[in-house]
Chains A and B, each alone.
Chain A
């Protein structure tokens, strides 16, 4: 049977506002349990939520970046259920009138562009965390995270493969980080994903029976879990069995999904409009000001890099994968005007050094100015590429300017033709045997002569000049 995979993704992204969505507590991560709480986020009797306008602004950024239509009037709703990490006994979320609807994302997979619809983006609050102490048979509640703002981004069921799902997620992640509204840290849970998947015979319009996957903590998990589900659904369908509509957990260690609860057992959340909050009213002026503050998004920037700097699409992709890297690159190019060469050095040596240190671009000790200077010196032939590698490492370690390093190490290239011609003549004179062999047709010996010249100049000879002069000398009768 020719089966088609249908996937829809729900992403929860924690917003980087300084304070929580409904109270003034800090949103910091990793502090002692319950140290970032107040009567409001502890849901003490009599407390009321008041909306942090920054949350609306951050959420609007994502909505506008994904081409969503902003609902000028949107409302909060209560999702009721009991759990100790949910202090009010309900989560304040959005239901019938979310912040934004009807956007899309263009993803690129193996050179092919696909449009994935975004159903809605809404604002809500995060829950706290339970800490289980197995030894003492006790559970503790940490409410530092309770009330941290989230946006939920719901995709249309437009995704047709696990690889596409992964590409969609990466793209979404990239935009959120570019917008500086989410740190994108999947391990700490600031970017979380649930997936809905079903299979159907190709050409059929209605959906097959779906399962929902949870506990997908990395792009890899998402793809592996979905691949597992595709195989599982395929097997069930082809064996004439039915797919149980249920929620399943991904077990990364075992590489399998495990049934958690059937859809029939799901809670009735008794959603109703949140009476403690008034509707969020958004006027054109607010939308325009948020729009005006949007940075250039990764896709647009990639296209611009190719057009404006003439670098290959691959390079543009690497350089724009991170906002700060792209900005670093542009600063270097502005100063040295050698876009392709700058791309090579950054993608090669600079990124290698950063990766080894696991250091973010913003903390790179090698300044764009110094790198641009060095590229200039290479272009002028003052230093060789080989020297440059050494200089870059030094600049990265010490933060010093290239001129200082070159002077200290005496690394200036020998570009004086007369000086080099003398050395070459001496090398030829000292190697009559090799000269004879070369002249009788052993071209490979050319490299031997280059090596000898370099040896005598301690590697400081300009390689291009050595080549030219050596050729002349060897062919000279």
Chain B
């Protein structure tokens, strides 16, 4: 069995049994990276030297019997999360030479849990995109078919997990940036409740939606990663102080008699037939597990994409103002004046999608548009939140497709931003409502492309979410496939 293809829990069992060392695992993963990066391009930068040093230390810990939940496990990190002394480029020309002088809170937590960081994975520029094509460093390719996108914006993380270029990865999700690429790459992607995982050290796209979460090979690994990542952080005012459970304890629990809601607004025309077939199968699987299926309605669903398209660019236009070429990042040369410093640096440093969102976002916040656009969008967002609160009185879990289609061709949607935004149509609502959602692989299309099913739960109900996800994973018994690479 190839080590890089194993899960966190499988490897930890082997480590505990003394069958493998952290160094063997780490080397196996880097061999995989060396063999595949030309094809896939999951990573923007690697931290191989540091990883090998960490593996050596991990093996010493293991010898002493000091084994943390991620000891010896190579983990990849989306390149919008800061690691001290390492590049944090956000896949932008603007920050291509920027080194962070501090660690993100999740990086501290991963280190404390024994994880070995392999490197920084590719993303859409400043996480703006759904295909990882807007990266200044070039696109990531889908491990299942290299002509296709891996989804995005955490496309590099999803591809790295799918291609066994890491054991698990950390991504960030604003409107689906973990779940959509997870679906398109056939891995598990979890977006936690807003406030469960600290955002300190995550370069903000839209502060009120951004959330860090894991991409893993199975549901159990997602629970292990969540145990490590979750928790209150005084450095993030929006992080929530709460007693947290051990998420692994929810795995394998019975779901019979529990209610699954199917929002009728998510089963409409325009969904790929293969996707719909696989989702119907998933529903049947859940029924077999003893869950009760009920149709529910989320009437504000149609407003989710428009609200998202106002709130995200608006917040981004302000969040990215600090990337101005004054203190760090690209600064244009031969400047005439102060205004030139800003406009030239930002014109040269940002790509077209980032510029589009910054301009649109500034417009939404301008005094002429603030009340009727930004203000109205935030009010509708409140309605969407309430709608979910009500829905969870009628059911324990909501099940929907994760994406309307399987992976699409590189270049297919880059000319049509609206089409690109619609690839997130099923993942945006939980983001706006701040509720947790997970994407779990539910089979393959006729063309052999993976498809994911999405489960949503109420705020801080990650335990229940993982309970359903693991019940599905176990009973669906999806055939184990590995991308032919």
Chain A interface residues toward B at CB < 8 A? 39, 42-51, 78, 80, 82, 84, 87-90, 141, 268, 270-273, 275-278
Q: Sorted from nearest, which 9 A-B pairs have the closest CB atoms?
A: A89-B321, A270-B365, A275-B207, A275-B208, A43-B322, A45-B203, A46-B201, A46-B82, A46-B203
Min CB gap B208→A, angstroms: 4
Is chain A's interface secondary structure helix, strand, loop, or mixed overall?
A: loop
Beta-carbon contact of B237 and A82 below 8 Å: no
Q: B326–A44 contact, CB under 8 A?
A: no
Identify the closest chain A residue to B207 (Cβ). Answer: A275
Q: Is the CB of A276 within 8 A of B100?
A: no
Judged by a CB distance under 8 angstroms, whether B300 is at the interface is no
A90 to B323, CA, bound (A): 12
Kindly list 12 other residue pairs between chains A and B, CB separation below 8 angstroms, not including A48-B204, A276-B238: A45-B82, A45-B88, A45-B322, A49-B237, A50-B237, A82-B342, A84-B326, A88-B321, A90-B318, A272-B365, A275-B207, A276-B207
Instruction: Give 25 CB contacts A-B under 8 Å.
Output: A39-B102, A44-B327, A45-B88, A45-B203, A46-B82, A46-B88, A46-B201, A48-B199, A48-B237, A50-B237, A84-B326, A87-B326, A89-B318, A89-B322, A268-B367, A270-B318, A270-B366, A271-B370, A272-B370, A272-B374, A275-B206, A275-B315, A276-B207, A276-B237, A277-B238
B66 shortest CB reach to chain A, Å: 30
Given contacts A270-B370, A276-B207, contact A50 B82 (CB under 8 A): no
> Looking across the interface, which residue of chain A has its beta carbon closest to that of B209?
A275
**A contact residues around B238 at 8 Å (CB):** 48, 275-278
Quick one: closest B residue to A130, CB to CB?
B338
Cβ-defined partner of B202 (8 Å) among A46, A80, A275: A46
Taking the closest CB of chain B, its distance from the CB of A94, in whole angstroms, is 15
Q: Which residues in A have their C-beta under 8 angstroms from that of B235?
A: 48, 50
Chain B contact-residue range equals 35 or more
Binary contact readout B376-401 vs A (1 if CB under 8 angstroms, 0 otherwise): 00100000000000000000000000
Q: Given A49-B237, A84-B326, A277-B237, do A44 and B318 touch, yes or no (CB 8 Å)?
A: no
Whether B101 sits at the interface, judged by CB under 8 Å, is: yes
Contact of B267 with A by CB under 8 A: no
CB neighbours of B370 from chain A (8 A): 270-272
- With a CB–CB cut-off of 8 A, which chain A residues contact B90? 45
Contact B101 A141 (CB under 8 A): no
B95 to A, closest residue via Cβ = A45
Chain B contacts to A: CB under 8 angstroms: 80-82, 88, 90, 95, 98, 100-102, 104, 199-204, 206-208, 234-238, 314-315, 317-318, 320-324, 326-328, 338, 342, 362, 365-367, 370, 374, 378
Q: Bound complex: CA of A275 vs CA of B88, how far in Å?
A: 23
Q: Let me know if A272 and B318 touch, CB within 8 A.
A: yes
Question: A-B contact count, CB below 8 Å?
Answer: 101
Minimum Cβ distance to chain A for residue B357 (Å): 14
Q: Would A47 and B200 count as touching, CB distance under 8 A?
A: yes
Cα–Cα, bound, A78→B320 (Å): 13
CB atoms of A51 and B237 under 8 A apart: yes
Minimum CB–CB distance for A265 against chain B, Å = 13
Contacts of A88 in B (CB 8 A): 321-322
Known: A84-B338, A268-B366. A50 touches B322 (CB 8 A): no
Q: How distant is the Cα of A45 from the Cα of B208 in the complex, in angstroms? A: 16
How far apart sit A64 and B55, CA to CA, in the bound complex (Å)? 58
Q: How far, in Å, is B321 (CB) from chain A's closest CB?
A: 2
CA distance A80 to B324 in the complex (A): 13
Closest to B234 in A: A50
Contact present for B327 and A42 (CB under 8 Å): yes
Are B323 and A45 in contact, CB atoms less than 8 angstroms apart? yes
In the complex, how many angstroms separate the beta carbon of B30 from the nearest chain A beta carbon? 26
Q: Tell me if A45 and B100 are in contact (CB < 8 A).
A: yes
A87, B236: Cβ atoms under 8 Å? no
A270-B362 contact, Cβ under 8 Å, with A44-B101, A45-B82, A277-B237? yes
What's the least CB distance linking B229 to chain A, in Å? 15
Least Cβ–Cβ distance between B151 and chain A, in angstroms = 23
Identity of the chain A residue whose Cβ is nearest the Cβ of B210 in the assembled complex: A275
**Nearest chain A CB to B109 CB, angstrom units:** 15
Give the docked Cα–Cα distance between A51 and B234 (Å).
Answer: 10
Bound: A384/B104 CA distance, A: 74
Nearest chain B residue, comparing its CB with the CB of A141: B326
- Chain B residues contacting A44 (CB-CB under 8 Å) are 100-102, 327-328
Closest to A272 in B: B365
Residues of the B chain whose Cβ atoms lie less than 8 Å from the Cβ of A78: 318
Q: Find chain A residues with CB under 8 A from B203 CB.
A: 45-46
Bound CA–CA A47/B320 (angstroms) = 12
Task: Report how far A273 CA is from B327 CA in the complex, Å.
Answer: 26
- A residues less than 8 Å from B237 (CB atoms): 48-51, 276-278
User: Are A80 and B321 in touch, CB under 8 angstroms?
Assistant: yes
Q: Which residue of A lies closest to B206 (CB)?
A: A275
Given contacts A268-B367, A276-B238, contact A46 B322 (CB under 8 A): no
Nearest-neighbor residue (CB-CB) of A270 within chain B:
B365
Task: Give which listed residue, B207, B208, B327, B365, contacts A80 with CB less than 8 A.
Answer: B365
A42 neighbours in B (Cβ, 8 Å): 327
User: Which residues of chain A are near B204, meaning CB under 8 Å?
Assistant: 46, 48, 276
| Docked complex Cα distance between A87 and B201 (Å) | 17
B341, closest chain A residue (CB):
A84
**Whole-angstrom distance from the CB of A247 to the nearest CB of chain B?**
18
Q: Complex formed: what's the CA distance from A50 to B199 in Å?
A: 12
Query: Are the CB atoms of A87 and B318 closer together than 8 Å?
Result: no
- Tell me the complex Cα distance, A273–B374, Å: 10
Of B98, B200, B318, B338, chain A has the most CB atoms within 10 Å of the CB of B318
Cβ of B102: which chain A residues have Cβ within 8 Å of it? 39, 44, 47
| Chain A, residue nearest B89 (CB) | A45
* Distance in angstroms between the alpha carbons of A254 and B123 in the assembled complex: 58
Specify which chain A residues have a CB less than 8 angstroms from the CB of B201 in the assembled complex.
46-47
> What's the Cα separation between A88 and B235 when bound, in Å?
17
* Residue from B238, B317, B327, B374 having most chain A Cβ neighbours under 10 A: B327
* Contact in complex: A46, B98 (CB < 8 Å): no
CB neighbours of B326 from chain A (8 A): 84, 87, 141
* Residues of B contacting A141 in the complex (Cβ-Cβ under 8 angstroms): 326-327
| B215 CB to nearest chain A CB (Å) | 20
Within 8 Å CB of A47, what residues of B?
102, 200-201
With A78-B318, A270-B365 already in contact, the answer to whether A39 and B101 are too (CB < 8 A) is: yes
Query: For residue A46, which residues in chain B have a CB less than 8 angstroms away from its CB?
Result: 80-82, 88, 100, 104, 200-204
